[in-house]
A and B are shown apart, each in its own frame.
Chain A
Amino acid sequence: MPLSRRQFVALSAPAMMTFGASTPRFLAQAAEQAKQNRRENILVVIQMSGGNDGLNTVVPYENDEYRKARPTLAVSKNDILKINDQLGFHPAASGLNDLLQQNRLGIVQGIGYPNPNQSHFESMDVWHTCLRKSENRPDGWLGRAIDEMQVTQKRDVPALHLGNRKQPFALTSRTHRVPSVKSLKQFRLELQQRESLSDIRSNVSFSRPQSSSLLNFVQTSTDTAIDVSQKLQAVTSKYKTDVTYPETSLGNQLKTVAQLIDADFSTRIFYVEVEGFDTHSQQAAAHTALLRQVGGALSAFLTDLDEHDHGDRVLTLCFSEFGRRVTENASKGTDHGTAAPLFLAGNKVNAGLIGKHPDLDNLENGNLRHHTDFRQVYAGILEQWLNTSPKEILHGNYKPVDVVKS
């Protein structure tokens, strides 16, 4: 979708301001804005790509149907980290279990959507846009949330994606370019001393009245990239933490998020991804490693946030595009399924089990039936945490799940 001239000017306004202005003035502005943002709530999204086996994450360990369906993959009762007399965590999810014990984890069960699609890509797009393929999908749910938040208060970087791969559709906004940052160290423009950044900036942002929508997109993205890289270099150099994060990709990403939150950057939404949940074969070892990675990184992240006094204002959502088939396949793995639990973490979350475990005696084509739409969770987050109105963002009315402690 081409930007209108007004939208384009709005996009490049922060850029124009920095260009030509002296650095101290810009820093003073950023610091001023930061003070105002100091106590705003922040949402961190962890996308577990590939389809997490919810049934082996939150396990109905007393259920006979579960054991019958999972002859090699069922978690032994002795190893279960018990949540109650029916349900317990996979032993590798001890990080999640610790958070639950500290009342900092909400487990929202039985999440899905009607007519579930079992393609990774289509199902992910449904989660990202809240719409089906047959509908027009120009933007994502977080992109729409950003657009709405920017109306009330302009922020330089309302949302940020960690990583350098394809940006999640959820973050696509009609008017804002969300930066992707793989690592703070690499997120800078390397120049020779002979060169000047302002030459590059002025040629990039030079007005091109005849430009196509694609050229316009590249132009505004380049402008954002240079602008944000300068700002990040300026504000993130002083961070220290005593928390040891696991040496995993997710651990490193969440550490960067903690650093950016502490830098008092105005960002309200962070998005990170962890891959590998598509366990069609030899699932046991892979799933164990993944649950350990998620639990370990998340638990370190929350500790770190607390140590820097941000624990009360950060909520983390962990989701996957679908769960997995109840019955395991002959490759000691599981095929694509439907309903699964998602996780909410943070000091303020409505901790404990939310909603009941899906019924193993009432399957649909071998898959669990969902009882809560994922958009009800989004509605809760938008309304109770980000203080936005969910209806437009979600393209409909969804009864919010209570995500925040009452």
Chain B
Amino acid sequence: MIDPAWAWSPYEPGQNSWTRRQAAHLFRRAGFAASSEELDKAITQKPSELVSSLVNNRPETDEYQQEVSDLARSVLATADVKKLPAWWTYRFLTTNDPLREKTTLFWHGHFATSGDKVTDAKLMFQQNEMLREHALGDFGAMVHEISHDPAMLIYLDSATNRKAHPNENFAREVMELFCLGEGQYTENDIRELSRCFTGWEIRNGKFRFNRYQHDSGEKSIMGKKGKYGGEEGVKIVLDQKSAPYFIIGKLVRYFVADEPTPSNALLKPLADQFVDGNYQIGPIISKILSSNLFYSEHSVGHKVRSPIEFAVGFLRALNGSTNLNELTNGMSELGQIPFFPPNVKGWDGGRTWINSSTLLARANLIRNLLDRKETRFNQGSLGDFMDHLGAKSPAEIVESWEELYLAVDLPQEVKNQIANKVESGKGNREQKLRDALHLFCTLPEFQLS
């Protein structure tokens, strides 16, 4: 049993015990892995200060925001929804506000909507911008926004909803997937809530309330009775006791550990804070990322890298850049394409990322990237970059990769094997280094975060 009071108290490392490895853990979870310079800077700050700046600052410059918005405009001009993943991947790779992107990705999986069905790139993009804006803000506001969101309502077959025979799909997902979790409501609650949403429509890509199709009669939802409309229905659902536990439980699983499922006793302090703080997300994430639990053995190495963390982290940790389309297409074989979640439940994550196909695809993606001349490290060769990092001997090079990439220590024999490839593999020095890095990325430890 983990003591909840200990778990969520701030982690306060003693002198010299706040290490680069720990800061790397924070950046892997709060973002997509840190570069060596980022780690240098991180250990000059206290963990709590570092987390506070990740949560509260919006460091993206106007120029950067202009650049990504220009890119988005050129993608939207093609009206091809399949071009959106590369746009977001570019943001994952280049933003200096990684926690916001990481949390936006969390909400995208939570309020899963797929371009496969919606097909309208503009609506998918609008939803993405909305999630980014609210990512660390007010959960209640986000649920209200998502319930009027054209892409979401189209995805859930709820672009028309008439009073005679209401469509239950959206009401079901509001309870099961967005707010409460399966088992926290009855089938009758779903039917009653779906009556509240009658008259909600999407016309020409915009939300519209059609009062002629709204069922204005009395509804009975979760023990409450009234002539509720959709907004009031959502409010009743949000006010349920199980709502904060459901959301906090998912956040803890996302940021702390895939398994085991956290107990309600462990979640209670955060759930209480969430309710008292009117469902503000930022302070909760701040508490999670600066907690004892987060830096403990219960968390470090207890997540499977998602495909996006795997691919983006591979590059970000070594200041890498590559062909964006190759990278994005490769991610699809790994089992995750942003804007295209597999179903309304989003990506299950954890062990479900791992199977023989996705594991081979992980190794093959890295091989493909390393074989490309466009794949550069700090704008140059891997050899020059390892020199620049001061990693000279083969053993130092492997140590450096371990520090930047791995949550879990490698067995010394395995490190020796890889160092041996750096030293006496085949080909020129750059080829030896790249082959050794490929070997490094196929290790089981590399799949964990």
Residues 6 to 47 of chain B near chain A (Cβ within 8 Å):
none
Q: Which residues of B contact A192 (CB under 8 A)?
A: 367, 371, 431, 435, 438
- The answer for the CA separation of A177 and B354 in the assembled complex, in Å, is 10
- The answer for the CA separation of A203 and B418 in the assembled complex, in Å, is 9
Q: Which of B159, B335, B344, B371 has the most chain A CB atoms inside 10 A of its CB? A: B335
Residue pair A215, B352 in contact (C-beta under 8 Å): no
Q: Which of A161, A221, A275, A329 contacts B167 (CB 8 A)?
A: A329
Q: Which residues of A contact B160 (CB under 8 A)?
A: 281, 330-331
- The answer for the CA separation of A121 and B183 in the assembled complex, in Å, is 12
Residue pair B335, A214 in contact (C-beta under 8 Å): no
CB nearest neighbor in A for B431? A194
A174 at the interface (CB under 8 A from B): no
Residue pair B352, A167 in contact (C-beta under 8 Å): yes
CB nearest neighbor in A for B443? A203
Residue pair A328, B165 in contact (C-beta under 8 Å): yes
Q: Which of A133, A190, A218 contacts B368 (CB 8 A)?
A: A190
Bitwise interface map of A from 194 to 223 toward B, beta carbon under 8 Å scored 1, else 0: 110001101110101001101101110110
B91 at the interface (CB under 8 A from A): no
Residue pair B356, A221 in contact (C-beta under 8 Å): yes
- The answer for the CA separation of A191 and B359 in the assembled complex, in Å, is 14
Residues 185 to 203 of chain B near chain A (Cβ within 8 Å):
187, 190
B182 at the interface (CB under 8 A from A): yes
Residues 303 to 337 of chain B near chain A (Cβ within 8 Å):
304, 333, 335
Q: Which residues of B contact A204 (CB under 8 A)?
A: 442-444
Q: A164-B333, A202-B417, A215-B444 are in contact. Are A280 and B157 (CB under 8 A)?
A: yes
Q: Which residues of B contact A101 (CB under 8 A)?
A: none
Residue pair B182, A164 in contact (C-beta under 8 Å): no
A362 at the interface (CB under 8 A from B): no
Bitwise interface map of B from 271 to 293 toward A, beta carbon under 8 Å scored 1, else 0: 00000000000000000000000
Residue pair A199, B444 in contact (C-beta under 8 Å): no
B342 at the interface (CB under 8 A from A): yes
Residues 40 to 62 of chain B near chain A (Cβ within 8 Å):
none
B169 at the interface (CB under 8 A from A): yes
Residue pair B448, A164 in contact (C-beta under 8 Å): no
Q: Which of B160, B354, B426, B448 has the most chain A CB atoms inside 10 A of its CB? A: B354
B364 at the interface (CB under 8 A from A): yes
Q: Which residues of B contact A186 (CB under 8 A)?
A: 333, 357, 360-361, 364
Q: Which residues of B contact A118 (CB under 8 A)?
A: 172, 187, 190
B156 at the interface (CB under 8 A from A): yes
Residue pair A330, B335 in contact (C-beta under 8 Å): no
Residues 374 to 417 of chain B near chain A (Cβ within 8 Å):
408, 411, 413-414, 417
Bitwise interface map of B from 141 to 166 toward A, beta carbon under 8 Å scored 1, else 0: 00000000000000011111111111
- The answer for the CA separation of A176 and B331 in the assembled complex, in Å, is 27
Q: Which residues of B contact A179 (CB under 8 A)?
A: 355-357
Q: Which residues of A contact B115 (CB under 8 A)?
A: none
Q: Which of A187, A206, A282 contacts B357 (CB 8 A)?
A: A187
Shortest CB distance B135–A (Å)? 25
Q: Which residues of A contact B239 (CB under 8 A)?
A: none
Q: Which of B161, B356, B408, B426 contacts A331 (CB 8 A)?
A: B161
Q: Which residues of A contact B335 (CB under 8 A)?
A: 164-166
Bitwise interface map of B from 338 to 371 toward A, beta carbon under 8 Å scored 1, else 0: 0000111100100110111111110110011001
A372 at the interface (CB under 8 A from B): no
A–B complex contacts, Cβ < 8 Å, 30 sampled = A120-B343, A120-B345, A166-B335, A180-B357, A186-B333, A186-B364, A189-B363, A189-B364, A192-B371, A192-B431, A194-B435, A195-B435, A195-B439, A199-B421, A199-B439, A200-B439, A202-B417, A203-B414, A218-B448, A225-B357, A229-B360, A275-B343, A278-B169, A281-B167, A282-B157, A330-B162, A330-B163, A330-B165, A331-B162, A365-B187
Additional pairs, 4, CB under 8 Å, beyond known A204-B444, A214-B302, A221-B356? A191-B367, A195-B438, A214-B258, A281-B160
Please list the residues of chain B having a beta carbon within 8 angstroms of any beta carbon in chain A: 156-169, 172, 176, 182-183, 187, 190, 258-259, 301-302, 304, 333, 335, 342-345, 348, 351-352, 354-361, 363-364, 367-368, 371, 408, 411, 413-414, 417-418, 421, 425-427, 431, 435, 438-439, 442-445, 447-448
